[in-house]
Amino acid sequence: MTSTPLTSAKTPPGTDAPRGRLRLDGVRKILGGKEVVSAVDLETEPGEFLTLLGPSGCGKTTTLNMIAGHLTADGGLIEVDGRDITTVAPHRRSMGMVFQSYALFPHMTVAENVAFGLRMRKVAATRRGKQVAEVLELVGLDGMSERHPRQLSGGQQQRAALARALVIQPDLLLLDEPFSNLDAQLRVRLRDEVSALQRRIGTTAILVTHDQEEALAVSDRIAVMADGVIHQLDRPQEVYLRPATDFVAQFIGEVNALDGTAAGGGTCEVAGRKVSATPVGQAPAEGAAVRVYVRPEVVRVGSGDQGEGLHGTVRDTRFLGSRIRCVVSTPAGEVTAALPFDARVPAAGEEVTCSWRPSDASLAAR
Amino acid sequence: MSRTGRLTRVLGGVFAALVGAFLIAPVAVTVASSLTETSYVTFPPQGITLRWYAEVLRKPEFLSSFAVSAGVAVAAAAISAVVGLAGGLAIHRYRFPGRAALETVLSSAFAVPTIVLGIGLLQWFAQMGLASSPFTLLLAHLVLTVPYAVRLVLAGLAGLDRSAEKAAAGLGAPPFLVFWHVTLPAVRGALIGGAFFAFITSFDDLTVALFVVTTDLQTLPVRIFNYMQYDYDPTVTAIGTLMVLFALVAVVVIERFVGVAKLFGADEEHKGKE
């Protein structure tokens, strides 16, 4: 077997199909008599960066631990590249895992930590050394190989942990809140680096986080979880602009939630006015109670009554630097708009109409 | 540095020196008086001779007692380490009936006066029909040393990140290798410390041994104790000096291989960051 450069992990020699297709089918887990994960289905594309996003206790970490094999599913099926691994022991799966606590082996040097997985795979010492050096350079830790974990900063420790996970060319890279222990600036920098690296080497990555901004920034798709179920699984823009459930809308960013009645054709009536939005999933039947979700960034505020959209009075405007926050009192309740800083700023008391593109808002049964 | 700072340092140094002197003085007296030419123990020694050391070697009962003590102590150290590891892991990892009770018993074992323990064991061994032997002595010492070993292992395990074990498993290590490469190194210091403590406790013990031994089977402390009731000659201080030397050698050997500082939980955090 020849040395495989890490950057071609997507299609290793000898296999034609790209690796790293994960499939969860009806996966369940009961812990302490409580069902913490209920029938989770998901499937990744090889090379995809998928994030399990949700508050603590939503089942995201439990799901990750079932994928890694540290917990056994109480029901359902877990497959990687068509191989059923539901009950396979963790050490017989090929998963590189990175933890919030870094989880480096404290008594080993950085190089020994990174070499661990290769030693377990009985890779010859010379080739091991070469691969370790390669991956350490990849994560920007060249020259640190003889240090012990305690002699490294948090960011460096996490890079070492990432190198240790990547060097075995895993089927899946599992990231369990890997940036949560880092300070804000470093968190953003490392997260962008990890995302760029993942794209370069093409390993399928599953990230668990409660940080919505992090999820939006790095993911190809996000699975928003709450109470053990996936509420929405879609691209970041979709999840953000067109939340499927109340939970998704409220959990990620700020949202205007407007109650109305479905009027057919992607429109609905809110407080007597016709409002357009995109139904998520099946369009609600005419006359059904629905809720419209609109992000403040997509709300446009025009002067006077423009017929369509919500008509109201400006209650308050505030300059926030990058945005201007404008709160409009309408018959459907208050609507918040985040206007670009060069927009015309309506004065308090002005009569305005709030509108948005139908594709920028979602509509869901209530 | 400010003047008060310097004063604090000087006073601190003096205090440390006094404490050190207080601890070392009895040992120094023992060592010095073992060299006296008089046939009774006296300090300061009168003249210098190694005669009493020769005397020790001429008394086979002291040598055989040393062998008993050392043998039992080594066994107590080894068994304490193994049982301490197993017990620590069980308590740390698993929830089983009686777990809390076991932990309480183990942590309050220190509170039992050794003399009470000695009396209890005497009764207990008699009831069970166990004749006095190095084995019963070992059992008695394990009652003292195992709780300590378990607690040290528990402290070591508390410092171990379970994620590190998960990481190792994910990297392809089967359970035994996870234990060998990740768990064991985390409790290595605790095991060596527990074994060391067990050895010293067993080797030094007089109270419990007094109840368990017979005239045929005497540990070194018991032998010295009995000897002193009839003869108070410098043989006793010579043996004492040899025991101190023995302990010193043990500490040096351990320091050489592990570092005594590590035994007592000090880490090399100060080695610096970045």
pLDDT in tens, B21-35: 998 888 888 888 888
Q: What is the pLDDT of residue A283?
A: 80
Q: Which residue matches tokens 């291989």?
A: B257
| CATH code for the domain of B161 | 1.10.3720.10
Set of chain B residues whose Cβ sits within 8 Å of the Cβ of A153 = 273-274
In this structure, are strands A310-319 and A361-365 parallel, antiparallel, or unpaired?
unpaired
Q: What span, in angstroms and rounded, lies between the C-alpha atoms of A48 and A60? A: 18
Q: What is the pLDDT of residue B256?
A: 76
Angle at which helices A154-166 and A184-201 pack, to 10 degrees? 20
Residue A334, strand partner residues = A329
Set of chain B residues whose Cβ sits within 8 Å of the Cβ of A96 = 170-171
CB contact under 8 A, B167 and A97: yes
A261: closest CA of chain B, how far (Å):
50
Residue A172, strand partner residues = A95, A204
Residue B261's pLDDT band (cuts 50, 70, 90): low
In this structure, are strands A221-226 and A49-53 parallel, antiparallel, or unpaired?
parallel
pLDDT in tens, B40-72: 887 787 888 888 888 888 888 888 888 889 999
Q: What is the pLDDT of residue A109?
A: 93
CB contact under 8 A, B274 and A99: no
Q: What span, in angstroms and rounded, lies between the C-alpha atoms of A364 and A284? A: 7
Number of domains forming the structure of chain B:
1
* Residue A159 phi, psi (nearest 5): -65, -40
* Tokens encoding A243: 């939340």
* Tokens encoding A1: 């077997």
Using the Cα atoms of residue A269, residue A275, residue A279 and residue A282 in order, give the sign of their dihedral.
positive
Q: Is B256 helix (H, G, I), strand (E, B) or coil?
A: helix
B183: closest CA of chain A, how far (Å):
10
Q: What is the CB neighbour count within 10 angstroms for residue B145?
A: 28
Q: Is A255 helix (H, G, I), strand (E, B) or coil?
A: coil
Q: Which domain holds residue B155?
A: 59-271
CB contact A106 to B (< 8 Å):
yes
Q: From the list A103, A148, A156, which residue is nearest B167 (CB)? A: A103
* Residue A354 phi, psi (nearest 5): -95, 130
| Range scoring the smallest mean pLDDT among A145-159, A305-319, B226-240, B253-267 | B253-267
Q: What span, in angstroms and rounded, lies between the C-alpha atoms of B111 and B44? A: 38
CB contact B258 to A (< 8 Å):
no
Q: What is the pLDDT of residue B267?
A: 45
Q: What is the pLDDT of residue A2?
A: 43
* Tokens encoding A219: 């993911």
How many residues can be counted in chain B? 274
Q: From the list A91, A156, A174, which residue is nearest B172 (CB)? A: A91
Q: What span, in angstroms and rounded, lies between the C-alpha atoms of A328 and A296? A: 11
* Residue A86 phi, psi (nearest 5): -50, -40
Ordered structural domains, chain A, with CATH: 6-94+169-241 (3.40.50.300), 254-365 (2.40.50.140)
Residue B274's pLDDT band (cuts 50, 70, 90): very low
Q: Which of A163, A255, A253 is nearest to A216 (CA)?
A: A253
Q: What span, in angstroms and rounded, lies between the C-alpha atoms of B128 and B135? A: 14
Q: What is the pLDDT of residue A12?
A: 46
Ramachandran assignment for A4, one of left (phi > 0), alpha (psi -120 to 50 degrees), beta (any other): beta
A85: closest CA of chain B, how far (Å):
13
Q: Is B174 helix (H, G, I), strand (E, B) or coil?
A: coil
A47, A7 Cβ separation under 8 angstroms = no
Instruction: Report if residue B259 sits inside a domain.
Output: yes
Residues of chain A with pLDDT under 70: 1-18
User: Which tops the pLDDT comparison, B251 or A21?
Assistant: A21
Q: What span, in angstroms and rounded, lies between the C-alpha atoms of A186 and A158? A: 11
Half-sphere exposure of A24 (CA within 13 A, CB side): 29
Set of chain B residues whose Cβ sits within 8 Å of the Cβ of A174 = 170
- pTM reported for the whole predicted model: 0.80
Testing the interface with A: which of B93, B161, B171 to mutate, by most A Cβ within 10 A?
B171
Is 50 exceeded by the pLDDT of residue B273?
A: no
Is 90 exceeded by the pLDDT of residue B210?
A: no
Residue A316, strand partner residues = A327
Instruction: Report if residue B26 sits inside a domain.
Output: no
Q: What span, in angstroms and rounded, lies between the C-alpha atoms of B45 and B59? A: 23
**If 0-12 CB within 10 Å is exposed, 13-18 middle and 19+ buried, where does residue A95 land?**
buried
A81, A17 Cβ separation under 8 angstroms = yes
Q: What is the pLDDT of residue A10?
A: 44
pLDDT in tens, A264-300: 777 888 888 888 888 887 788 888 889 999 999 999 9
Q: What span, in angstroms and rounded, lies between the C-alpha atoms of A145 and A136? A: 8
Q: What is the pLDDT of residue A51?
A: 96
Instruction: Report if residue B159 sits inside a domain.
Output: yes
Instruction: Report if residue B16 sits inside a domain.
Output: no
A17: closest CA of chain B, how far (Å):
23
CB contact under 8 A, A103 and B164: yes
Instruction: Report if residue B51 sits inside a domain.
Output: no
ipTM score of the complex? 0.82
Instruction: Report if residue B176 sits inside a domain.
Output: yes
What single DSSP character describes residue B131?
Answer: P
Q: What is the pLDDT of residue B172?
A: 92
In this structure, are strands A49-53 and A204-209 parallel, antiparallel, or unpaired?
parallel
Q: What span, in angstroms and rounded, lies between the C-alpha atoms of A70 and A85? A: 12
Instruction: Report if residue B40 sits inside a domain.
Output: no
CB contact B216 to A (< 8 Å):
no
B189: closest CA of chain A, how far (Å):
12
In this structure, are strands A289-294 and A323-330 parallel, antiparallel, or unpaired?
unpaired
Q: What is the pLDDT of residue A42?
A: 93
* Tokens encoding A170: 């895993």
Is 50 exceeded by the pLDDT of residue B79?
A: yes
Q: What is the pLDDT of residue A114?
A: 95
Q: What span, in angstroms and rounded, lies between the C-alpha atoms of A294 and A152? A: 45
* Tokens encoding B86: 């197993």
A146, A111 Cβ separation under 8 angstroms = yes
CA distances, A65 to each of A70, A90, A98, A99, B225 (Å): 5, 10, 12, 11, 61
Cα of A199 vs its chain's centroid, Å:
15
Helix, strand, coil tally for chain B in percent (to 5): 75, 0, 25
Instruction: Report if residue B41 sits inside a domain.
Output: no
pLDDT in tens, B4-18: 888 899 999 999 999
Q: Which residue matches tokens 């060299």?
A: B35
